[in-house]
Structure 1
Amino acid sequence: MSSTKDYTVGWICAIATEYVAAQAFLDAKHERPEYLPPHDNNDYTLGEIGKHYVVVAVLPEGEYGISSAASVARDMLHSFPNVRIGLMVGIGGGAPSPEHDIRLGDIVVSAPRDGKGGVLQYDYGKTIQNQSFQCTGFLNQPPTLLRTAVTGIKAQYESDGHTLEEAIESVLEKKPRLRKKYQRPGSSSDRLYQAGVTHSTNDEANCALACSDNTSDLILRHERAENEDNPAIYYGLIASANQLMKDALLRDKFAKENDVLCFEMEAAGLMNHFPCLVIRGICDYSDTHKNKEWQGYAAMAAAAYAKDLLVRIPVNKLEAQRRISDVLSSIERNVYEAHRDVKDLALEQRRAELHRWLSPPEPSTNYNKALQRRQEGTGSWFSQSNAFATWKSQRNSFLWLYGIPGCGKTILSSTIIEHLKSLSIQSLLYFYFDFTDTEKQSLRGVVCSLISQLYHTCKSAQEPLDALFSSFRDRNTQPSCESLCKVLQKMIKRTEEVWVVLDAIDECLECKGSPTEGLLLWIRDLVRLQHKNVHCLVISRPEQDIQLELSRLVNKKDRISIQSDLVNDDILAYINAKVREGEGLKRWRGCQDIQKEIKEGLAQKADGMFRWVACQIDALEDCLDYPTLRTALNSLPKTLDETYKRIIVAIPDNYKENALRIL
C-alpha cells in the first residue's frame, strides 16, 4: 500500500461527473488511504498516470463555487504533503466568438494573456439577461512546469494532431456502462442561439423541444472538416465567479472586452493557493440554454487532455518542484482571506440586489441642492430654540414645522439634517417629497428610501428586510406597500433610536390616501410605535388636510409656524452675502451707497420670503447700469406671499388642489 507522501499531483473535480471521468483515465488505481486527518472532509481516489502518483478529490455534493474549491485544496494539501502541482479538471461554459469557434465538447486550457494569469475572477448582479458585472481580481498563473508542458503538447497537437477521441473511445470500451452518459452526443444537439434568444426560466424541457429551431434564432456554423481537430483545444483566459453564468449578452460583452474563452465557478478559489492548471471541457454556451447532454463527454475530453499533459512531464522535473506543503502556512492565511473576500463580495452583491429590488429614491440630491442654496449661519433661530432641544432630548418626540410657499422650508430642513449629522447620529433617516420627481411623490417612495437608509446604517435592523427579500424568488416582483410599511416598523423596533426628517409632505400625492396607504396615517402609525425612541420632524405647507390630521397628533407647542419675523435675520444675512460676495452683483462692490440701496429695497419687501428674494436678486443681476437698477428697485413686485394669496382666491374650487401643488 502506498503512502500519502508518495503523491505529487493533485487533481480536483467539482462534480461527480468530472470525478468519474478522472478515475476512468487513471492507468492504475490504488487502494484508498486507511487514515486521513480528522479535519479532512474530502473523498479521494488514488492512482497512477504514466509514472506520476495522482490523488483525485471532488467537492461535496451540492457545494459549488470558489470557497468550496479552496476548502478541498486546503484539506488535500494537509493530507498529501508532497503534492507539487495541481489540476482543476472538469466542465465549463464556452464563450464562442468570431475569433474563437468554440463548440460543445471542445477544451479550454487556462493560459496567461496580456498580463493576466489565465484565470480571471469576476462577479455580477443577477444571473439573468441585462445585468452588469465587474472584474474583481487577476489571479496567479500556473506553475512554470505546467505552462512548459502546455507549450509542448500544443506544438505536438499542431504538428501531428491529437488522439483524444480515440482515448475516450478506449475508456468507454473498457467501461461500457459509461457509454450512454459519456459518449459524444450527435452534432445536431450542438445549438448556439443568438444572444437575445432565451430559454424560459420556468421551462425545464430540453432546448430541442422548448426553444425555436428557426435559423434566424441560431448562429449557423459549418461542419468541421476531417483534417480539423475535433474536439478543438483553445488556450487563454477562463473567467471564474461564485455564480453560474447564464447570460449570453454578458458572455459576449465579457468575451469581447477581456478575450475570455470559458466561464466556470471554482478556479478562482484555487489559483492563489494551489499551483494549478485549469482544464475545462465545454458543455454549454454560458447562456440560458443549459445542455446537460454534453456534460459527460466534456468531462471525458478534459480528463483525456489532462492525462496527455501529465505524461509529458518527466518525473525528475516534477520532484524538483517545491512542495506546496512547504508554504502551507501562507496558503492557509490566503485561504482565510479568500473566504473573507468572498463573504464581503457576497454581502456587497446582496446589498446591490436589494437596492435594485427596492429601487429607493435618493434624497441626498435634494439635500445637497438645498445646502448649496443655504447661507452660512442661517436657521440658528430654530437650531437654538427650546422646541428643537426638547425634541432631541425626549423619547417619541414629534415636531411639525409649517409655512407658506417660498419661506425657506426646504433649506431649513437641510440645515436641521446637517446639524443632526454633526452629532454623529447613526440612524438618521430623511426624505424630500418633490413635485418635480414622480418617484418622490408617494408613500412607497418614502418607505423604500427609509428602509434602504436604515438597512445600511444599522446592522441589527437588517433581518426583517432580508427575510422579505428571501421570500421573493422573482427579483422582478416587488412587495406591496403595506408589507414594506410593516418591515420598516419591524426594523425600527430593532433599532435603539431613530431620527426621521420628512420635508414637503404636502407634495406627496397620497396625503389623502386610503387608511392603509395614506401618508398622514402612516406618519401617525410611525409616531405611535410603542416602546421606541422615535424622533420625527415633519415640514410642510399648512394645507387643510395636513393641519386636521397633525393637530390630532401633535401638541400645540410642537406645531411651529415659520413666520416672517423668525426668518428675517436669515433673509438679511442672505441678502448681505449676495450683494457683497455674489458674482451677479459684483459690479456694485465699489459703491457702498448702491449696495445699501439694494439691500434696503429687498429687505423692505421680503416679508419672510426666501424664494421671492432669490428671484429678485436674479432679476437685479441683469441691470447693467444704475438707472436701470434703480428703476428695478422702485418697481419691485409684490412678495410671493401676497401674489400667492391673490392667485388662490381667483382659482375655482375644483382646480385649487392641483394649483396648490404647482405653486
Structure 2
Amino acid sequence: MLLTTNYDDLLEKHCGIPSVGRSDEHELVSFQRKSFDGIFHPHGHWRDPENIVLSARDYHDVVQDERVQEALMHIGSTKTILFVGAGGGLDDPNWGQLLRWVGEKYEKRGPVHYVLFPKTVGNEIPHMPLNHLTCETRDDIALWLKGLLEPSARREGTIHENLENVERVNIHRWLSPLDQSQFLNDNSDIPDKITPFHQSVTNLPSFWETEGSSYVWLTGNGGFGKTIFCTSVIDSTRQNCRLETAGRSRDSLAYFFCATHDVFEKDSTPVYHDFGAFCRTVIDQLCPPKTVYPALRDLYIACTEYHPARHPTNSELRDVLLRIIGDLGREKSRVPDEPVQPGETYLVIDGFDKLPRNRQSPFLELVKEIRARKFEHFHLLVSSRDTPRIRNPIRHWGEWNEITCNHKTVGGIIRGYVTRSIYNDPHFYDLSRSAREPLALWLIDELTKSGHSFWWVYWKLQDLKDLDFLDRKSIKRILNDEDDVSEEPKERPARRRRISK
C-alpha cells in the first residue's frame, strides 16, 4: 500500500494505478480494505485542488477528518510501515500525529515500523520507537528501495513506458464497476467452515470440469446457502487460477451478485443491481490490471471520442462482454508458429431470480446467448431458484449440471456449524461444560432436526446469544417464534444430475 503527502502523480504514472483522495469516502474505504489499489494522498492531489493542504487551516481540517485518520490508524495497526522522506518529523501536522500515535502504541512493545533516512541528513525523529534504516545520500533512496524487490519484480526505464496502464485506469473509471468484495468476504466468513462449503454440498473434490466447457445450475429454496455456495466456489477458483506461462494464457475469473445486503443485519434491505452494472463489473474483472482488450478499447473510443461524458448502453456492453469471452477461449499466437493455449474463463452469477421480474430478462437472454455460442474453455455457474411459482427458463437452454442446496445436502454442514458454535463460542460456554452438556446436545438437535434453513439456524443462534441465562424454557421461547418458522422445503437429489431440454 502506497501513501504520499506529495501533490504530484509520479507514483501513479510509474505504477499504473490511480490516486486515492480524501473526498471519495467509498474509494478510501476500498483502499483501506485493499479491494482497490491506488496511491493515497492524505494532503490532496493536484487534480483535486479543493482538497490540497496548504494553509494551517487545511492541516487542521485533515487532522480532524475522521475518515483520513481512521485509515491511517488502521494501516498503522495492521501493516508494517516504512516511512520514507519523513523530513518534517513530529512537526508535520499529519505525519507527526501518526508518528506520535505509533510511538505511544508501541512504546513498551518495541519498534515494529521502519524509517529510512540518508546518512548525510540523519534521523530527524530519533526518539520514536522505529527501526532505523540508512542509505548513503538522498540520491540513493530509490536504489535502496529497488533493492527490496525480487529481480523479476524490478522495472527498468522511464515512467512514460507505462502509458498503457494509464489507459487501463481511465477505462476502469469510465466503466465504474461495482466493488462487491466486501459482500463476498462477509459471506465467506459466515459458515465457520473447515471444508469449503461447495465441496461439503457436492462431495466432489474438484468443482469445475476443465475438459471443454462446463455449465452448472445451482438451485434450491431460499436460505439454504446458494450465495454462500457461490462464494465458496469463487474463493476456491481464485486460489487455483493459473498465471500466464510460456505456452499458456492466464485463467480469468469474474463474479457478480445480483442482490446484496448487510449479511450481519437480520432484516437488512437488499440492494438490487441491474444488467448494466453486471456488464461493467464483469468486463472489468475479466480484463487484466494492465491490459485493455481491443473490443473494450473500441467501445471506449467510440463513446468518448466526441462526448467524453457518454456512457455505453447495455446492448453495447453486452456485445463487448460476449466478444471478450470469445477472444479468451481462442488459441493465441503472439509469435508465428508458436501457438499459446488459452486459459480457462470462469463466470459466477448469483441470484438473478431475486431481481424484480422486469430486471431478469437481459440476464436470461445473455445466458441463452452464451449457451448458443458454445464458447470453448468457458465455465458458468448460475444460482437461481426453480419452483412451481418461479419456473426458470434456463432449464431449457442446453445441458446443465444441476446442484441443489436443501436440508438433505446442507443439513450436515448446518449441524457441524451449530456444534462448533455451541462448543467454541464464549456466549455458550456454560452449555459446553460437562454438567450442562445434555442441554447443549438437546439444543443442537432442536436447531438441526427440524429441516430449517441455514439462515434460520444462524439467526436463532444470534438471538440465543442475547439471553442472559440459557435454560430449556428460554431456548424454546426463542426457537418457537412463529414469525420466523418456515416449512420444510421440498427435497431434491444431493448430487449432480444431467438435465436437458
TM-score (norm 2): 0.57
CA distance in 2, matches of 1:347, 1:549: 42
Report the counterpart of residue 309 of structure 2 in structure 1: 476
Q: Matches of 1:343 and 1:520 in 2, distance apart?
A: 43
* 1:442 Cα offset (Å): 0.8
In 1, Cα distance between the equivalents of 2:479 and 2:53?
A: 62
Q: What is the Cα deviation at residue 445 of structure 1?
A: 1.2
Is the partner of 2:486 in helix, strand or coil? helix
1:600 matched to 2:440: no
Residue 587 of structure 1 aligns with which residue?
A: 430
In structure 2, the CA distance between the partners of 1:481 and 1:342, relative to structure 1 (3 Å rule), is: same
Q: Is the 8 A contact 2:183 2:260 kept in 1?
A: no
* Deviation string, structure 1 residues 192-230 (Cα, Å, up to 9, x no partner): xxxxxxxxxxxxxxxxxxxxxxxxxxxxxxxxxxxxxxx
Q: CA deviation at 1:576?
A: 0.8
Select 2:421's aligned residue among 554, 573, 578.
578
SS at match of 2:278: helix
State the superposition RMSD in angstroms.
3.8
Is 1:342 aligned with 2:160?
Answer: yes
Q: Which residue of 1 aligns with 2:174?
A: 357
Deviation at 1:383, TM superposition (A): 4.8
Residue identity opposite 1:343 in structure 2: E
Alignment check: 8 A CA contact 2:168 2:290 kept = no
Q: Does 1:366 align with 2:191?
A: no
Find the counterpart in structure 1 of residue 121 from structure 2: none
* 1:412 is aligned to 2:267: no
Partner of 1:283 in structure 2? Answer: none
Structure 1 gaps, min length 5? 1-115, 135-244, 260-329, 331-335, 647-663
Counterpart residue type for residue 413 of structure 2 = D
**CA distance in structure 2 between the aligned counterparts of 1:545 and 1:602, rounded to whole angstroms:** 28
Q: Which residue does 1:218 correspond to in 2?
A: none
Match of 1:80 in 2: none
Q: How does 1:103-502 map to 2 (within 5 A)?
A: 122=9, 250=49, 253=52, 339-344=157-162, 346-376=163-193, 377=195, 378-385=197-204, 389=207, 391-425=208-242, 426-434=251-259, 436=261, 440-456=272-288, 459=291, 462-471=293-302, 472-473=304-305, 474-495=307-328, 496=342, 497-502=344-349
- Tell me which residue corresponds to 1:561: 404
Change over 3 Å in CA distance of 1:342–1:120 after alignment to 2: farther
Q: Which residue of structure 2 lines up, in the alignment, with residue 506 of structure 1?
A: 353
- Whether the 8 Å contact between 1:504 and 1:540 is mirrored in structure 2 is yes
- AA aligned opposite 2:439: I
The CA deviation string for residues 478-501 of structure 1, in whole angstroms up to 9 with x for no partner, is 111110111111111221331111
Equivalent residue of 2:449, what SS?
helix
Counterpart amino acid of residue 442 in structure 1: D
- Alpha-carbon shift at residue 352 of structure 1 (Å): 2.6
Q: Report the CA distance shift for 1:530/1:551 in structure 2 as closer, same or farther (over 3 A).
A: closer
Alpha-carbon distance in structure 2 between the residues aligned to 1:488 and 1:415 = 24
Per-residue deviation, 1:642: 5.8
Report SS of the residue matched to 2:178: coil
Q: CA deviation at 1:623?
A: 2.4
CA distance in 2: counterparts of 1:250 and 1:525, whole angstroms: 47
Q: Aligned partners of 1:133 and 1:343: how far apart in 2?
A: 22
For structure 2, which runs of at least 5 residues remain unmatched after alignment? 22-44, 59-142, 144-153, 243-250, 262-268, 329-341, 490-501
The verdict on how the C-alpha distance between 1:644 and 1:356 changes in structure 2, with shifts beyond 3 A counting, is farther
Report the CA distance between 1:349 and its aligned residue: 3.0
How much has 1:412 moved relative to structure 2?
Answer: 1.1
SS in 2 for 1:478: coil
Q: Tell me the SS of whatever aligns to 1:407.
A: coil
Tell me how far apart the structure 1 counterparts of residues 316 and 171 of structure 2 sit (CA, whole Å).
Answer: 15
Provide Cα deviations, 1:443-478, integer angstroms capped at 9, x if missing partner. Answer: 11111111000112694x722112211221333221
Alpha-carbon distance between aligned partners in 2 of 1:573 and 1:547, rounded to the nearest angstrom? 32
Partner amino acid, structure 2, of 1:541:
R
Match for residue 618 of structure 1 among 446, 450, 462: 462
Q: Distance in 2 between matches of 1:635 and 1:490?
A: 53
In structure 2, the CA distance between the partners of 1:531 and 1:542, relative to structure 1 (3 Å rule), is: closer
Q: SS where residue 287 of structure 2 aligns?
A: helix
Query: Letter of the aligned partner of 1:431 in structure 2?
Result: F
CA contact (8 A) 2:452 2:488 kept: no
CA distance in 2, matches of 1:501, 1:477: 29
Percent identity reads: 19
Question: Counterparts of 2:217 and 2:483 in 1: how far apart (Å)?
Answer: 23
SS in 2 for 1:612: helix
- Take 2:417 and 2:459, find their aligned partners in 1: how far apart are those partners? 13
**Aligned-pair CA distance for 1:616:** 0.9
Structure-2 change in CA distance of 1:612 and 1:520 (3 Å): same
Task: Answer yes or no: is 1:533 the counterpart of 2:377.
Answer: yes
Q: Between Structure 1 and Structure 2, whose CA radius of gyration is higher?
A: 1
Q: CA 1:500–1:580 in 2, change beyond 3 Å: closer, same or farther?
A: same
**Residue 406 of structure 1 contacts residue 609 of structure 1 at CA under 8 Å; is this kept in 2?**
yes
Q: Secondary structure at the match of 1:595?
A: helix
1:548 Cα offset (Å): 3.5
Match of 1:501, SS state, is strand
Give, as a single letter, the amino acid of the residue that structure 2 aligns with 1:366.
F
Deviations 1:341-367 (A, max 9, x none): 2333x3443333222211111122221
- Number of the residue aligned with 2:128: none
Normalising to structure 1: TM-score of the pair? 0.44
**Aligned residue pairs, count:** 328
- 1:315-374: CA deviations, max 9, x gaps? xxxxxxxxxxxxxxx9xxxxx978542333x34433332222111111222210101102
The one-letter code of the counterpart of 1:476 is A
Quick one: distance in 2 between partners of 1:645 and 1:444? 36
C-alpha deviation, 1:612, in angstroms: 0.6
Residues 398, 379 of structure 1: CA spacing in aligned structure 2 closer, same or farther, 3 A cutoff? closer
Secondary structure at the residue paired with 2:438? Answer: helix
Is the CA contact 1:442–1:510 (under 8 Å) kept in the aligned structure 2?
Answer: no
Structure 2 distance, partners of 1:429, 1:478, is 22
Report if aligned partners of 2:202, 2:403 keep a CA contact under 8 Å in 1.
Answer: no
Cα pair distance change 1:574/1:585, threshold 3 Å: same
- C-alpha distance in structure 1 between counterparts of 2:271 and 2:470, whole Å: 46
The alignment partner of 1:400 has SS state of strand
3-state secondary structure, aligned to 1:558: strand
